[in-house]
Amino acid sequence: MEIQWFPGHMAKAHRMIKEHLKLVDVVIELLDARIPVSSANPMIHEVIENKPRILVLNKEDLAEPEWTERWVKYFTGRGLPVVKLNSATGRGMRELVGRVEAIGGDKMARLAAKGIKGRAIRAMILGIPNVGKSSLINRLLGTAAVRTADKPGVTRGKQWIRIGKTLELLDTPGVLWPKLEDADVAFKLALTGAINDDVYDLEKVIHQFLAWLKQYHSERLLARYQLSVPLPVDDGELLGRIGAKRGCLRSGGIIDYEKAGKIVLQEFRAGKLGPITLDYPPEPVNQGNE
């Protein structure tokens, strides 16, 4: 699946990031813990260059814990500070703030030595759409002061947010890259909601996801949708069985495949299929259940 999608507001956001990077001390890059590689925007890496950076594996509750731990070891082993986070519950928030203060504190000390005192540490939050930036800021603030939604592209303008006396955050819109040439990356971004659902082939994505589930987590399918073994070889037939179990029927008893597909998609995103990791560390390890 190839997607070419670079809305005007994303191009503007990319320019804004480059313009304001000089104002910040630390970059916080949010990644989806389910897809740490696929949710990392290579354009962001080019822009921030040598600016101090902290990686945040957000939505860790939706990812498989053992794989998240392997990702932490992978990034840490490459000299990148990394924090596991669930911005919905606040788990990992204290550690993140501590990491930002520790990294930014070095610069504050240098400024203080020059007679510049009292300035808060300035951090820029970057990430692709729907990775949880606004939810993170809301959790830090303790209020829903920043507009959020469970769909990409809601936050569109620059916002400075003061967090206590020691930290200022610059929120930025989510930025995708102009062309998603890697079909596997495009599939994972569509599946996790980083791409608007109306710009890709939903049926194709669902069929590919069901094939993946059959290979690595067939027990999840059997349990969640009360299916019998053996599972159908054909993914369309499998979706039909799920639709029948969930009452996705049109007049005449015809399966509504689109409705069934949307149910699978929504339940994956809500974690109702259990924690699932789709990206694996680039090391010779086995995928799926061990």
Does residue 184 sit within a domain? no
60 is in an annotated binding site: yes
Q: What is the pLDDT of residue 261?
A: 97
Cβ proximity of 96 and 121 under 8 Å? no
38 is in an annotated binding site: no
Q: What is the pLDDT of residue 154?
A: 43
Mean residue pLDDT of the chain comes to 85
Decide if pLDDT at 60 tops 60: yes
Same structural domain for residues 150 and 96?
yes
- Look up the CATH number of the domain holding residue 225: 1.10.1580.10
Same structural domain for residues 172 and 205?
no
Q: Is 276 left (phi over 0), alpha (psi -120 to 50) or beta?
A: beta
Comparison of pLDDT for 286 and 120, the residue scoring more: 120
Task: Say how far apart CA 140 and CA 226 lie, in whole Å.
Answer: 40
Does residue 194 sit within a domain? no
Q: What is the pLDDT of residue 286?
A: 47
Same structural domain for residues 26 and 163?
yes
Other Cβ atoms closer than 10 A to 55: 21
Q: What is the pLDDT of residue 116?
A: 77
Model confidence pLDDT, tens digit, residues 159-178: 678 887 788 888 776 676 65
Q: What is the pLDDT of residue 153?
A: 46
Positions of E strands within 108-227: 121-126, 159-163, 167-171, 179-180
Same structural domain for residues 56 and 170?
yes
Q: Are strands 121-126 and 167-171 parallel, antiparallel or unpaired?
A: parallel
DSSP class per residue in the chain: --EE---HHHHHHHHHHHHHGGG-SEEEEEEETT-TTTT--HHHHHHHTTS-EEEEEE-GGGS-HHHHHHHHHHHHHTT--EEE-BTTTTBTHHHHHHHHHHHHHHHHHHHHHTT--SPPEEEEEE-STTSSHHHHHHHHHTS--S---SSTT---S-EEEEETTTEEEEE------SEE--HHHHHHHHHHTSS-GGGS-HHHHHHHHHHHHHHH-HHHHHHHHT--SSPPSSHHHHHHHHHHHTT-EETTTEE-HHHHHHHHHHHHHTTTT--------SSS---S--
Read off the pTM.
0.86
- Look up the CATH number of the domain holding residue 134: 3.40.50.300
Does residue 193 sit within a domain? no
Does residue 96 sit within a domain? yes
Same structural domain for residues 122 and 31?
yes
73 is in an annotated binding site: no
Same structural domain for residues 88 and 211?
no
Same structural domain for residues 160 and 231?
no
Does residue 241 sit within a domain? yes
Task: Say how far apart CA 283 and CA 176 lie, in whole Å.
Answer: 26
Same structural domain for residues 163 and 218?
no
What percent of the chain clears pLDDT 70, i.e. is strictly above it? 84
133 is in an annotated binding site: yes
Least confident range from 194-198, 203-207, 250-254, 258-262: namely 194-198
Q: How confident is the model at residue 113 (pLDDT cuts 50, 70, 90)?
A: confident
Task: Say how far apart CA 129 and CA 155 lie, in whole Å.
Answer: 9
Decide if pLDDT at 287 tops 50: no
For the four alpha carbons of 223, 224, 227 and 233, in that order, the dihedral sign comes to negative
Q: What is the pLDDT of residue 254?
A: 95
Model confidence pLDDT, tens digit, residues 214-264: 999 999 999 999 999 999 999 999 999 999 999 999 998 899 999 999 999
Comparison of pLDDT for 123 and 14, the residue scoring more: 123
59 is in an annotated binding site: yes
Does residue 81 sit within a domain? yes
Model confidence pLDDT, tens digit, residues 124-148: 888 888 898 888 888 887 754 454 4
131 is in an annotated binding site: yes
Q: What is the pLDDT of residue 155?
A: 46
Q: What is the pLDDT of residue 13?
A: 65
Full domain range(s) for residue 247: 201-269
61 is in an annotated binding site: yes
Q: Are strands 82-84 and 167-171 parallel, antiparallel or unpaired?
A: unpaired
The total number of structural domains in the chain stands at 2
Same structural domain for residues 56 and 95?
yes
The average pLDDT across 107-117 equals 80
Q: What is the pLDDT of residue 50?
A: 81
Same structural domain for residues 65 and 30?
yes
Least confident range from 12-21, 150-159, 246-255, 264-273: namely 150-159
Model confidence pLDDT, tens digit, residues 18-35: 777 888 899 999 999 999
Same structural domain for residues 50 and 124?
yes
Same structural domain for residues 211 and 141?
no
234 is in an annotated binding site: no
Does residue 196 sit within a domain? no
Last residue of a domain, one of 124, 144, 178: 178
Does residue 280 sit within a domain? no
